């Protein structure tokens, strides 16, 4: 503490040499179907301290091995980063894949936090134990979902119905957001970044051909 010319005290904050730098949080959100809304996950990630620009979002099945946004997130990680997800099944419902992902995070010096599971932080022994339990449950739930889906499709075919989803995004809806950044546009349309880029590129090529 020092005193100025008026005699008033002035406090000087001395930096703590042992203070840890702030943790960089990176969020990942996923929905399985195009008509599902990711807002709950994204809002939870932001409330958990993740910057919107650091959220990777895509529409893909939990069992799909080709998830470009997840792969992009893993490539972007730096030592000390922490991946944040709403629920563990957003990463995968397969126990082996989940543990392989955790090993990849460890190699990069990164951690994983699950928002819906207090204490679920793989940087701690207790968090790793909890992660193992949750991963097994997630795989069991996936097996049950697949079983119910197969039964529902079989029942529908028996009644002459054929499963499938209608196209959700029109060219007009994509054009409306093309003035935004690719990531902002994809999140607004609730598409994966890869889907949006592919669709926007196609529209741009159509526009050039029409000139």
Catalytic residue IDs: 32
Owner of token pair 């799909």: 64
HSE (CB half, 13 Å, CA atoms) of 27?
25
Q: For the chain, report the end-to-end CA distance as a whole number of angstroms.
A: 70
Query: Where do the DSSP E strands lie in 86-188?
Result: 111-114
What's the DSSP call for residue 35? T
Which phi and psi (to 5°) does residue 15 adopt?
Answer: -55, 140
Decide if 51 contacts 114 (C-beta within 8 A).
no
Contacts of 37 (CB under 8 A, 6+ apart): 31, 190
The percent helix, strand, coil of the chain (3-state, each to 5) is 50, 10, 40
Contact predicate 159/184, CB 8 Å:
no
């Amino acid at each position: 503490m020092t005193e100025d010319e008026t005699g008033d005290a002035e406090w000087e904050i001395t930096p703590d040499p042992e203070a840890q730098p702030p943790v960089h949080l990176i969020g990942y959100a996923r929905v399985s179907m195009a008509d599902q809304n990711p807002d709950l996950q994204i809002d939870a990630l932001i409330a958990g301290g993740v910057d919107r620009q650091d959220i990777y979002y895509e529409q893909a099945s939990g069992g799909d091995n080709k998830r470009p946004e997840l792969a992009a997130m893993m490539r972007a990680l730096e030592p000390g980063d922490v991946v944040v997800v709403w629920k563990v099944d957003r990463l995968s419902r397969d126990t082996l894949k989940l543990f392989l992902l955790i090993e990849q995070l460890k190699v990069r010096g990164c951690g994983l936090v699950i928002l819906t599971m207090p204490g679920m932080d793989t940087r701690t022994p207790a968090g790793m134990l909890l992660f193992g339990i949750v991963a097994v449950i997630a795989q069991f739930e996936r097996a049950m979902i697949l079983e119910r889906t197969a039964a529902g499709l079989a029942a529908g075919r028996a009644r002459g119905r054929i499963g499938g989803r209608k196209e959700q995004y029109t060219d007009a809806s994509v054009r409306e957001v093309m003035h935004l950044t690719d990531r902002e546009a994809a999140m607004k349309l609730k598409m994966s970044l890869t889907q949006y880029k592919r669709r926007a590129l196609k529209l741009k090529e159509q526009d050039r051909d029409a000139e």
